[in-house]
């Protein structure tokens, strides 16, 4: 089919004629059409002014391409048929009109003098471009809703701050109330607000168009007092048009309405609109506090619901006191002044009356073995913890709910990794041990053996200088989830696999033991990939990917090779691999990043993720199909690892 879209009548007629032309001349076949890879028909595009469209056009026997346009703009086509265009868009229903014209070749025309000299292929893609939020007009009093929609259910306690926000007619008076608790919480109109538009700000030029600022956003707050108590309440917002004269003057000076309307506005009785919050609040409710226990070792705790990680990999059985909740999240009190949030499905509630244990830590011992150094903290329960890498030779362990009674730190005489350790109690119930190492951090693990917290420092592999005998996990990103797709349909999963097999070859030649998370098209879950590495005692982990962009970001400006790490102890590996890939591939430098990626979060070994090239660019997709380019990537990665290993002990 050439198109499934709504077209103007003349376009439809034209298409019917076109089909007739093509079929009557015997070109009819399944692939004689333009294929659009992205965006898909009926898709919603989250972009403001321009976005990219990619796909491919077919070869037509006896003809050559004479012009190729998307929405009447010429777009380059790669020799393998792939194209990408960066096209201006408008809000609402937006149609991409893709047109390829072919002229007959001279020789072919001589042999077939009665054939059409030119044929045209057309494809249309209908998308929706959502309109940005707009300021409400000044000529009436309206409330659009909460600006930041409140969580469904919030349990709040003394000292918590309730944040209020309302989107309504600008230049009015707003206030809020919580029935039974407080009558009139003042709110003020803020400066025009930016709309969140993350694509451009993270991956592009960082520009936010002025047209996206919104007026009429009111903010306020209320701090919960010890005497407040209320269950199942809504916040009530109020908006009052008390300065009508000011509004009228604004309208006159902006030529917005005529005199009759202004007369009407001035004579409008003073009104107050009210609006109920989406979420329900519970204040100082007896459900809390309650103790929760972690149910799985992958879980993380965060600084706020859905915000940055406070700590990762809290083992199963760790307990903490939940004191409040918001939507799907519990607020945990880890120590008198330490709070973090856990997702409700990462923990289970313990019966009322049980508290997390308090521990007094008196003796710390270290145990040396061939591959690691274990530091043992005997506690009377499983406490939450946080590990902070301060620099390449310094690491801090924080244990919450633990109080120092430390008289002894016993060093294993056989150990040469740990120089010394210093304990500290920076806050009530926050116990801290800082390790000063003689060598750089390779990796580490944190877990419980009974109620002993074990911090295990993994030693660098033996004979570090070269690849021989090193256990390297190569992870071809994606599988049945295809990842990004190139203009001619090459999937990222397949490109990643082809490259990874070349990387295996390259590393094996140098004596490395390569473990693949997959070596064929079978499906592997994201979280199974680090498990494979752990089960195989990986020394290093490298995940292979190829990049695409979010809607609205210009692919001609933003592309190239990039590398991502999570923990500081993976930085040197990442920098070396990035530098060698830049030398081998000679694509643009798309940057070196700290990135919160699941495959990079494990702590046991240095782990990086490589985005070799951009799938969505025709030239780079074409390169990715060639063995030559795949081998260059493999060589760059191999050399990067070698550089990292060689330098590891030097600094």
Query: How many residues belong to the site for Zn ion (CB under 5 A)?
Result: 3
Stretch near Zn ion under the rule CB under 5 A, chosen from 100-108, 266-274, 537-545, 598-606? 537-545
DSSP 289: S
465 phi and psi, to 5 degrees? -60, -30
Contact (Cβ atoms closer than 8 angstroms) between residue 235 and residue 164: yes
Question: Which tokens is 223 given?
Answer: 């701090």
Place of tokens 């168009």: 209
Q: Measured from the CB atom, is 504 or 545 closer to Zn ion? A: 545
Cα dihedral sign, 553-554-557-561: positive
Q: Measured from the CB atom, is 241 or 496 closer to Zn ion? A: 496
- Residue 483 has a CB neighbour count (10 Å cut-off) of 19
Bridge partner list, 234:
280
Stretch near Zn ion under the rule CB under 5 A, chosen from 23-31, 43-51, 94-102, 540-548? 540-548
As measured in angstroms, the least distance from the Cβ of 548 to Zn ion is 8
Q: Measured from the CB atom, is 435 or 612 closer to Zn ion? A: 612
Residues 430 and 27: their CA atoms lie apart, in Å, by 76
Contacts with Zn ion in 544-583 (CB under 5 A)? 545
Write each residue from 221 to 260 as x if it is in contact with Zn ion (CB under 5 A), else as -, in one continuous string: ----------------------------------------
As measured in angstroms, the least distance from the Cβ of 594 to Zn ion is 17
Q: Measured from the CB atom, is 124 or 547 closer to Zn ion? A: 547
Q: Measured from the CB atom, is 325 or 500 closer to Zn ion? A: 500
As measured in angstroms, the least distance from the Cβ of 609 to Zn ion is 8
Q: Measured from the CB atom, is 188 or 480 closer to Zn ion? A: 480
* β-pair type (118-129, 452-458): unpaired
- Which candidate, 624, 485, 479, 490, places its Cα nearest to that of 543? 479
Q: Find the length of the chain.
A: 651
Write out 389-450 in H/E/C secondary structure: EEECCEEEEEEECEEEEEEEEECCCCCCCEEEEEEEEEECCEEEEEEEECCCCCEEEEEEEC
Q: Measured from the CB atom, is 48 or 597 closer to Zn ion? A: 597
- DSSP calls for 521-549: S----TTHHHHHHHHTT-SEEEEEEEE--
As measured in angstroms, the least distance from the Cβ of 573 to Zn ion is 19
Q: Measured from the CB atom, is 154 or 545 closer to Zn ion? A: 545
As measured in angstroms, the least distance from the Cβ of 622 to Zn ion is 19
Write each residue from 401 to 430 as x if it is in contact with Zn ion (CB under 5 A), else as -, in one continuous string: ------------------------------
As measured in angstroms, the least distance from the Cβ of 79 to Zn ion is 26
As measured in angstroms, the least distance from the Cβ of 477 to Zn ion is 4
Contacts with Zn ion in 470-489 (CB under 5 A)? 477, 483
Residues 6+ apart with CB under 8 A from 337: 427, 428
Residue nearest to Zn ion (CB): 545
Contact (Cβ atoms closer than 8 angstroms) between residue 546 and residue 624: yes
- Which candidate, 542, 549, 561, 579, places its Cα nearest to that of 629? 561
Stretch near Zn ion under the rule CB under 5 A, chosen from 66-74, 188-196, 469-477, 613-621? 469-477
Q: Is residue 618 close enough to count as binding Zn ion by CB under 5 A?
A: no
Q: Measured from the CB atom, is 477 or 606 closer to Zn ion? A: 477
As measured in angstroms, the least distance from the Cβ of 481 to Zn ion is 9
- Residue 88 has a CB neighbour count (10 Å cut-off) of 10
As measured in angstroms, the least distance from the Cβ of 86 to Zn ion is 21
Query: Where on the chain is the footprint of Zn ion (CB under 5 A)?
Result: 477, 483, 545
């Amino acid at each position: 089919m050439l198109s499934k879209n709504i077209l103007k009548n003349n376009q439809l007629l034209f298409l019917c004629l076109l089909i007739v032309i093509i079929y009557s001349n015997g070109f009819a076949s399944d692939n004689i059409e333009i294929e659009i890879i992205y965006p898909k028909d009926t898709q919603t595009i989250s972009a403001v002014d321009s976005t990219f469209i990619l796909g491919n056009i077919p070869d037509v026997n006896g003809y050559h391409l004479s012009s190729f346009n998307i929405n009447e703009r010429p777009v380059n086509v790669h020799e393998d048929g792939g194209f990408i265009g960066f096209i201006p868009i408008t809000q609402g229903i937006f149609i991409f009109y893709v047109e390829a014209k072919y002229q007959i070749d001279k020789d072919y025309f001589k042999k077939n003098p009665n054939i059409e000299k030119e044929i045209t292929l057309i494809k249309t893609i209908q998308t929706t471009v959502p309109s940005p939020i707009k300021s409400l007009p000044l000529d009436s009093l309206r409330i659009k809703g909460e600006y930041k929609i409140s969580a469904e259910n919030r349990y709040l306690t003394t000292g918590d701050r309730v944040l209020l926000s309302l989107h309504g007619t600008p230049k009015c008076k707003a206030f809020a109330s919580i029935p039974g608790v407080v009558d009139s919480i003042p709110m003020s109109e803020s400066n025009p607000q930016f709309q969140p538009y993350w694509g451009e700000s993270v991956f592009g030029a960082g520009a936010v168009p002025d047209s996206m600022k919104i007026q009429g956003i009111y903010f306020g707050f209320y701090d919960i007092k010890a005497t407040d108590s209320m269950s199942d309440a809504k916040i009530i917002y109020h908006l009052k048009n008390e300065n009508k004269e000011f509004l009228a003057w604004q309208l006159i000076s902006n030529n917005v309405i005529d005199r009759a309307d202004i007369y009407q506005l001035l004579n409008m009785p003073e009104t107050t609109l009210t609006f109920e919050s989406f979420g329900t609040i519970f204040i100082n409710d007896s459900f809390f506090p309650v103790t929760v226990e972690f149910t799985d070792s992958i879980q993380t705790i965060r600084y706020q619901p859905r915000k940055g990680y406070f700590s990762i990999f809290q083992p199963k059985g760790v307990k903490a006191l939940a004191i409040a909740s918001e939507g799907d999240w519990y607020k945990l009190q880890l120590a008198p002044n330490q709070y973090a949030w856990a997702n409700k499905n990462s923990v289970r509630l313990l019966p009322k009356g049980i508290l997390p244990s308090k521990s007094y830590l008196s003796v710390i011992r270290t145990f040396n073995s061939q591959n690691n150094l274990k530091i043992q903290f005997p506690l009377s329960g499983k406490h939450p913890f946080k590990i902070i890498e301060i620099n390449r030779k310094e690491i801090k362990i924080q244990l919450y709910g633990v109080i120092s009674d430390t008289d002894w730190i016993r060093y294993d005489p056989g150990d040469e990794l740990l120089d010394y350790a210093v304990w500290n109690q920076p806050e009530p119930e926050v116990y801290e041990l800082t390790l000063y190492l003689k060598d750089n951090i390779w990796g580490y693990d944190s877990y419980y053996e009974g109620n002993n917290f074990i911090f295990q420092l993994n030693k660098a592999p033996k004979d570090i200088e070269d690849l021989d005998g090193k256990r390297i996990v190569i992870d071809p990103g994606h599988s049945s989830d295809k990842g990004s797709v190139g203009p001619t349909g090459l999937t990222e999963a397949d490109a990643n696999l082809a490259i990874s097999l070349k990387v295996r070859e390259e590393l094996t030649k140098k004596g490395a033991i390569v473990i693949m998370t997959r070596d064929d098209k079978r499906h592997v879950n994201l979280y199974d990939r680090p498990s494979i590495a752990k089960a195989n005692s990986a020394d290093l982990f490298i995940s292979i990917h190829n990049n695409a962009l979010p809607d609205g970001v210009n692919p001609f400006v933003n592309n190239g090779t990039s590398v991502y790490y999570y923990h500081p102890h993976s930085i040197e590996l990442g920098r070396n691999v990035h530098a060698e890939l830049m030398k081998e591939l000679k694509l643009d430098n798309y940057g070196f990043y700290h990135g919160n990626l699941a495959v990079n979060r494990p702590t046991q070994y240095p782990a990086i993720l490589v985005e070799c090239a951009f799938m969505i660019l025709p030239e780079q997709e074409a390169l990715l199909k060639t063995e030559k380019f795949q081998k260059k990537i493999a060589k760059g990665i191999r050399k990067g690892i070698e550089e990292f290993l060689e330098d590891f002990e030097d600094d």
